[in-house]
Homo-oligomer: A and B are copies of this chain.
Amino acid sequence: MSTMNLTLLTDLYELTMMQGYFKNNCNETVVFDMFYRTNPCGNGYAICAGLDQLIDYIRRLSFSDDDIAYLDSLHLFEDDFLEYLRGFHFSGDIYAIPEGTVVFPREPLVKVVAPIMEAQLVETALLTIINHQSLIATKTARVVYAADGGGVMEFGLRRAQGPDAGVYGARAAMIAGCIGTSNVLAGQLFDVPVKGTHAHSWIMSFPDEYTAFRKYSELYPDACCLLVDTYDTLKSGVPNAIRVFTEMRESGIELKNYGIRLDSGDLAYLTKRARQMLDEAGFSDAFISASSDLDEYLITSLKSQGCKIDSWGVGTNMITSRDCPAFGGVYKLAAVQDENGNFIPKIKLSENIEKITNPGNKTVFRIYEKADHKIKADLICLADETFDDTKDLTIFDPLETWKRTKLKAGTYELRELLVPVFKNGKCVYTSPSVMELRDICSKELDTLWEEHRRLINPSQMYVDLSDQLYDIKKNLLHQMSM
């Protein structure tokens, strides 16, 4: 992806609308918000991710001669518009919540302030990129939470929805707390740890399992993880592994970072028995790694049965977010700038009250409890509103407005979540490395109460509107219904 021109990675209607704006000479500056309505997988929060790839996409936006020729071949676009596209580049502003941040429904994760033709063009790719990585990061945070300190390795490339899904999915999984990935290209692109040993085919290509193990141990004495389930885990695999570990010890090799991997069978029963066999043979520091259709629920269930698993290789269910394979991010017009430079709020109605958009040029503040730095609530407000945290602050639920909370001065702290990423088409933001994002994300997760992290039916975080924003929304709804 990083070397490809993705300018045409867009829905056709973005281009037909662009031509419409072009022909009508309307290219006023507008505000679009990218936000989502429901946390994936029944989670209590999401982790936003993908901003670095979005930046890359915006920077490279330009129509090549081939692109123009292709669009011309569709017989939909006129010469003057195609000529405009030839010189196209993004000239607007973009604000975003940094990657690795804990986020909640309805708050803008990305805000685009740009001439409408530009803001419209970038909709589709922006959604594709942010939706995908935020989905996998959120799913991974659940899996890592279930592993409860055990390492989680991302092993899903072969079942990912195409190469990008494997590579950028691995990136998102690393941000959200994996200790490594099997994906070598992701390792190269993002400088993250790569993990892996051998497959059943290695075992099967030798005359017997013992020989296969021994050959492997000779080659990788410092990272000797033996796959024990090719023939019979307890009768053949573990005994052969113990035989090889014993020979290694007897030949004077200092055993460290060694162990076994299981990829099938009943992982609770087999790992308890294997642990016992390894311990009895004097290999109590050998690790046990497991894979096989794992997800956050199976990990929780296996742990509740006392399985002896030190690290988890998670594939299909994490790289596809199997129980919820799409993050429902949307991109909605929120305001149009008038000739005086004022942003006129716009609203999208819906029969479903939760689907009505929040109008205006907005930002998001996070309110922390000062005492423990846990999140108290998020506050969506107009971009030019200011709050003084040396004074009391009253927040209220935008749907059930009688639910009010008064925050006493000095007990809370405010942080604006949206930061400038592009200004007048220039990137003004430097992305941290993926391993730095992993640290940031880990600290972010610490700002949540356990009640928000529970895998099933977690507490929902309050995301409130400021008084000013609430009034604008109410008035617009009133006008529309007249």
Determine if A104 is an interface residue (Cβ-Cβ < 8 Å).
Answer: no
Would you list which residues of chain A between 384 and 423 have a CB under 8 Å from chain B? none
Q: A9 touching B185 by the CB < 8 A rule? A: yes
- Knowing A17-B198, A348-B204 touch, does A12 contact B127 (C-beta < 8 A)? no
For A166, give its contact among B14, B128, B136, B167 (CB under 8 Å): B128
Chain B: CB-nearest residue to A26: B205
Q: Give the number of times this chain occurs in the complex, counting copies.
A: 2
Determine if A349 is an interface residue (Cβ-Cβ < 8 Å).
Answer: yes
Determine if A470 is an interface residue (Cβ-Cβ < 8 Å).
Answer: no
Would you list which residues of chain A between 172 and 206 have a CB under 8 Å from chain B? 182-185, 187-188, 194-202, 204-205
CB of A49, distance to nearest CB on chain B (Å): 12
Determine if A341 is an interface residue (Cβ-Cβ < 8 Å).
Answer: no
Cα distance, A76 to B180, chains bound together (Å) = 15
Q: How many of chain A's residues have a CB under 8 angstroms from any CB in B?
A: 101
For A125, give its contact among B11, B15, B163, B196 (CB under 8 Å): B163
Determine if A95 is an interface residue (Cβ-Cβ < 8 Å).
Answer: no
Chain B: CB-nearest residue to A321: B325
Q: Which of A163, A194, A220, A320 has the most CB of B within 10 A?
A: A163
Q: Which residues of B contact A13 (CB under 8 A)?
A: 182, 196-199
Q: Which residues of B contact A30 (CB under 8 A)?
A: 205
Q: A158 touching B351 by the CB < 8 A rule? A: no
Q: B128 touching A162 by the CB < 8 A rule? A: yes
Determine if A322 is an interface residue (Cβ-Cβ < 8 Å).
Answer: yes
Would you list which residues of chain A between 252 and 289 have a CB under 8 Å from chain B? 264-265
CB of A271, distance to nearest CB on chain B (Å): 16
Determine if A424 is an interface residue (Cβ-Cβ < 8 Å).
Answer: no
Determine if A231 is an interface residue (Cβ-Cβ < 8 Å).
Answer: yes
Binds B, one of A297-305, A328-336, A364-372, A373-381: A328-336
CB of A132, distance to nearest CB on chain B (Å): 5
Q: Which residues of B contact A480 (CB under 8 A)?
A: 231
Chain B: CB-nearest residue to A75: B222
Can you pick out 15 interface pairs between chain A and chain B where the beta carbons lie within 8 Å of each other? A1-B4, A3-B3, A9-B183, A13-B199, A17-B198, A19-B219, A20-B216, A67-B188, A76-B223, A124-B157, A128-B160, A129-B162, A161-B165, A162-B164, A162-B169
Binding site for B on A (CB under 8 A): 1, 3-4, 6, 8-17, 19-21, 23-24, 26, 30, 32, 66-67, 70-71, 74, 76, 116, 120, 123-125, 127-129, 131-133, 135-136, 155, 157-169, 182-185, 187-188, 194-202, 204-205, 215-216, 219-220, 223, 230-232, 264-265, 316, 320-322, 325-329, 331-333, 336, 346, 348-351, 480
Known: A17-B201, A158-B331. 7 other contacts (CB 8 A): A10-B183, A12-B194, A124-B157, A127-B158, A128-B163, A162-B164, A205-B336
Which 6 A-B pairs rank lowest in CB-CB distance, beginning with the nearest? A12-B196, A13-B196, A164-B164, A162-B164, A127-B158, A325-B325
